[in-house]
A and B are shown apart, each in its own frame.
Chain A
Amino acid sequence: MPPDAPGARASAGPGRDGLEGGADPGRPRASSPGPVGRAAAPAHRPDDAERIERLCVERGLKMTGQRRLIARVLSEAQDHPDVEEVYRRALLLDSKVSIATVYRTVRLFEEQGILERHDFGGGRARYEPTEHGHHHHLIDVDTGQVVEFEAEAHERLAREIAAGLGFELVGHRLELFGRRAAAGGPSSDVRPGGAQRGPKTPRGDAGG
């Protein structure tokens, strides 16, 4: 998954991917999510499922059994699953759920602002509940794993850049694409100047 994959959005600053220089490392959010394709042990967030249901009711959507099921799967996910992954997990809970229903429901939730859609490359959109607070994403290009993080230094830099251009920053996105460094010493997999030790906190230099 190349960093310049279609749909990959650049970070703050015009036309630039990632930051350069020694920005403070970001803070990972909660626990690291598992890769798509494996149901990582979810940190149950009951508030999310209730929130999704409440938003559906507020927007006049009927909360059917299957929508509740899908809301539960999404609320328990930490790894920004795509639709097929949501479907696989829903199947574990109800063998009668249909991929068509999952697709339609996820799209409906997105249209109603209940879910946020992300394009991290790879040809499939991935989803997370909205109102998870402002955060950014680091994508493991080998596994598709997505790590959420916050980075105050990046936020400051983004505001400064906007202000320098005569704008007040109202929103921004940052997506980092990385590859985990091998543990221990250098190996043949280590790229000159590109390897980064394995912490989940991303660095300011995107490398590559």
Chain B
Amino acid sequence: MPPREGPIGRRCERAVVTAYRELRSHGVGDLAAFNACATLYRIHHPEAQVEEARRLAAEWIDHHVVRGDSGPTPGCDCG
């Protein structure tokens, strides 16, 4: 996995990306880690539907972890 980039602005996004990295580093499979992170997003945002949680988790994980990109990502206005 690419090295960690600078701080992520959104609290929920930080949580999702951190959780995914740590789950994977402890041997959890990709699909299970992803599903856990989508659930984690809904803990931060109980109003979000499952589809939105999966969409954003995918965006963030693909952006930060898979591709190691910097730059803005779509999502909420969490501080």
Contacts and interface: CB of A to CB of B under 8 A. Distances in A.
Interface of A: 84, 87, 98-101, 103-104, 107, 123, 125
A107 B58 CA distance: 10
Contacts, number: 35
- The main secondary structure of chain A at its interface with chain B is helix
Contact of B62 (A84, A87, A100): A100
A99 B58 CA distance: 8
A56 B62 CA distance: 19
B62 A98 contact: yes
B30 interface: yes
A96 to B, nearest CB: 9
Contact of A104 (B30, B50, B51, B62): B62
5 contacts: A100-B58, A100-B60, A101-B66, A104-B62, A107-B55
A98 B30 contact: yes
B55 A100 contact: no
A82 to B, nearest CB: 11
Nearest to B61: A100
Nearest to A91: B30
A7 B60 CA distance: 27
Contacts of B50: 123
Contacts of B34: 99-100, 103
Contact of A99 (B30, B51, B55): B30
